[in-house]
Structure 1
């Protein structure tokens, strides 16, 4: 036990109080009070009786009560001062003021508490300073980003907007406190419709005499317990232009490569046929003409594939009975049906979806999978139809999976890179999507997700 600890000090004060009480009792019952009363009786003739035991106790209580209060005041006064200081410091922390420190030079437990409190205040001050610096950095980044950022509260009023948003929606003036729906009431219809929805969107508007394309990303969340909505408007015109140029370059490279692969042998064979005809060697001419015809048909099919991709019509949605659809599909490709078809008819364009499934099943067979390993599964999950084509081939690497759905990307020597891209285009035209994934036990799984109106699982 430390000599300067509160426990040691309290022990000393209690011992002193006990000793004082004993001395007071002895003074009242033994000496000097009885001797003084006897002297008064002897010298002055005063008749003062010596107090009995009860009177002695009452006299001791009368003397010790104020003395006890004084001892308690001495013991508790530093604790009370510290509690008041701590109360003020906690109130300051509650109000966000961490500059309060307590000056108390003690070497006991109260001194340790004050020291820890001051260290806590110093830590909170440093953390707040670091947080303020990070907030300043974040605000600088957000304010100067070219992406227009608008944060609205539950009532639709703007709580925060960066510089790009102020220039986009209010000619550079502040947006704080303005109702966002009123602010964009005179904006182009495409922008208003995009902001009315809850999903990300890509839209184009007329600005400064030219068409500008934006990507809108929006999220709803709760900030300090209240609903808020964050909207990010990113200009995509330059990026889309670069992507368009890159896509055209890929198209030109693919088309040039395929044309050269077909026109070069056709030109060579035409020259050889002319030489054979000049020399009168007509027996070899049918073979030359057949090869020329085969290369011409290949070139025609190649060009026709590009034309169909570029001129894909809007889907004609209709109710499709599964059994006739699957019977027609088996005439073009071979697959194993996994499970049963849904009892409800499907809702899609049968011609386009049939073309997609023919390409997917053909790719599955070309992967090297055994014929019995190529399967198709049909599942109705809520309001979504899932058509899954799977194989037992080697699957795809992560790099190929990331680019397999891009137009003109192909790992085949004679591939056009349009099969999966056409499947993606058709599924998105239906309001759905397509996903590729490797199977855990080997092979590839391609899944079409197609929305269905008002259906549910049985």
Structure 2
């Protein structure tokens, strides 16, 4: 039999045992040579016995044959059994170690004392076991390292089978969805029923995207990423939930610093020429040369209006007034919107009116629709979908552009963040402010097949409505 490394070697019968690493050097004799010599020896012994008996009993051939058989046959059986016994033991040991390898136990090795072909087989078998042991050890170490990294990452990770059962979850996911308790074996849809509504909607929507939970100081922004793949012949989905609140706040600080620098630069560029022109005008008046005053005053007026427009553009975002929510029917509102930017209406507009500030919502949707056209989407693929879902209005602007990368998705709602050379970075941020001022929220998600879907979720009725 085979033994684990460190066990006792074979006994005197020569049965297969472990490889201790200190084998005596044996003369190499092939199995064919050894068995040929054994058979030849047995035949020679039989012939010698027959000749000796024939010498003493020449007239009794039957007695010679009987005695010869009685001597040679048992001797042959005993000799052959003694030679086959260690070989059979080796075969059994090989079968046992192969079974152990199949069960994942690679701690066995074999020893064969003879220097024949079986020694080569045993050496190859032991070398295979050593390779498997090293590979198993490296794999276990990598698994431990990977599991430690996954369990300690702040990103919540869920591996969900195609049937909806959770097969793996890290510490962050357990704390986010189940109070730190084990998630494996639970169904994802059952857990989402007890989770925040924005998370449930983000998972149901499909694809990557941003969603916000909480309000005011407790507001938290998350990024949901999901990937589908086959594991052990079955379809699985990996969900990654990353909290972006702190990153967004840091980004907002950096963005506001950038805005202050931009405003300071613009003010200096405008005020310096204005001061110079005013000084020149005063000097011309003192000299009585008033013929150039109209030109100077016109230049001052132009620069002043430019500066006023610049400041008002930023002030409009910073000082968004409280929305004046009034009931508005959708057909008239959408018709006014279509006069300013082209789009396709998906389905049928809701028959019931909704309460919103028409001017603010129109501004938000104009920004979203213009962004959809500027994304590179075919014009006919830019669509507006408006639906009433219970007490909520779901307004979705869709396009078939390239969508957004994870980095852009994480920063798209930050004020003044823009990937366009001439963009102000206010379109999505203003839409977010308008949605939140109405008591709603905004979500962004890449669409299957390419493109982006920006969704405004607004309350359908006035706060004091029944």
Q: Tell me the TM-score range normalised by the shorter chain.
A: 0.5 to 0.7
Alignment TM-score, normalising by the size of structure 2: 0.61
Preserved contact between residue 309 and residue 418 of structure 1 (Cα < 8 Å): no
Map of 2:46 onto structure 1 = 24
1:26 offset after TM fit, Å?
6.2
Map of 1:15 onto structure 2 = 37
2:147 pairs with one of 139, 145, 169:
139
Preserved contact between residue 408 and residue 418 of structure 1 (Cα < 8 Å): no
1:178 offset after TM fit, Å?
1.8
1:194 pairs with one of 179, 202, 213:
202
> What SS class does the counterpart of residue 154 from structure 2 fall into?
coil
* Structure-to-structure mapping, 1:348-367, within 5 angstroms: none
Preserved contact between residue 156 and residue 181 of structure 1 (Cα < 8 Å): yes
Deviations 1:346-395 (A, max 9, x none): xx9899659977xx9xxxxxxxxxxxxxxx997999x998899xxxxxxx
Please tell me whether residue 318 in structure 1 is matched to residue 326 in structure 2: no
1:214 offset after TM fit, Å?
0.9
Please tell me whether residue 80 in structure 1 is matched to residue 103 in structure 2: no
Please tell me whether residue 36 in structure 1 is matched to residue 59 in structure 2: no
> What SS class does the counterpart of residue 104 from structure 2 fall into?
coil
> CA separation in 2, counterparts of 1:198 and 1:355?
20
Preserved contact between residue 356 and residue 423 of structure 1 (Cα < 8 Å): no
> What SS class does the counterpart of residue 57 from structure 2 fall into?
helix
* Structure-to-structure mapping, 1:116-131, within 5 angstroms: 116-131=124-139
> CA separation in 1, counterparts of 2:34 and 2:47?
20
Map of 1:225 onto structure 2 = 233
Higher relative contact order (CA 8 A, sep 6+): 2
> CA separation in 2, counterparts of 1:158 and 1:319?
39
* Structure-to-structure mapping, 1:231-270, within 5 angstroms: 231-270=239-278
Deviations 1:50-78 (A, max 9, x none): 46xxx999997786655554454344333
Q: How many residue pairs get matched?
A: 355
1:199 offset after TM fit, Å?
0.8
Q: CA RMSD in A?
A: 4.7
Deviations 1:70-129 (A, max 9, x none): 454344333222111111111111111112222443433323433343343334333323
Distance 1:94 1:169, change over 3 A: same
Larger Rg: 1
Alignment TM-score, normalising by the size of structure 1: 0.62
> What SS class does the counterpart of residue 130 from structure 1 fall into?
helix
Distance 1:291 1:423, change over 3 A: same
Gaps of 5+ in 2: 1-24, 321-332, 346-364, 384-397, 403-410, 431-441, 454-466
Gaps of 5+ in 1: 39-47, 321-347, 361-375, 389-402, 434-447, 452-458
* Structure-to-structure mapping, 1:1-400, within 5 angstroms: 4-7=27-30, 9-22=31-44, 24-25=46-47, 27-28=49-50, 31-38=51-58, 48-50=59-61, 68-206=76-214, 210-300=218-308, 302-303=310-311, 316=338, 317-318=342-343
Distance 1:111 1:88, change over 3 A: same
Distance 1:353 1:161, change over 3 A: closer
Preserved contact between residue 151 and residue 228 of structure 1 (Cα < 8 Å): yes
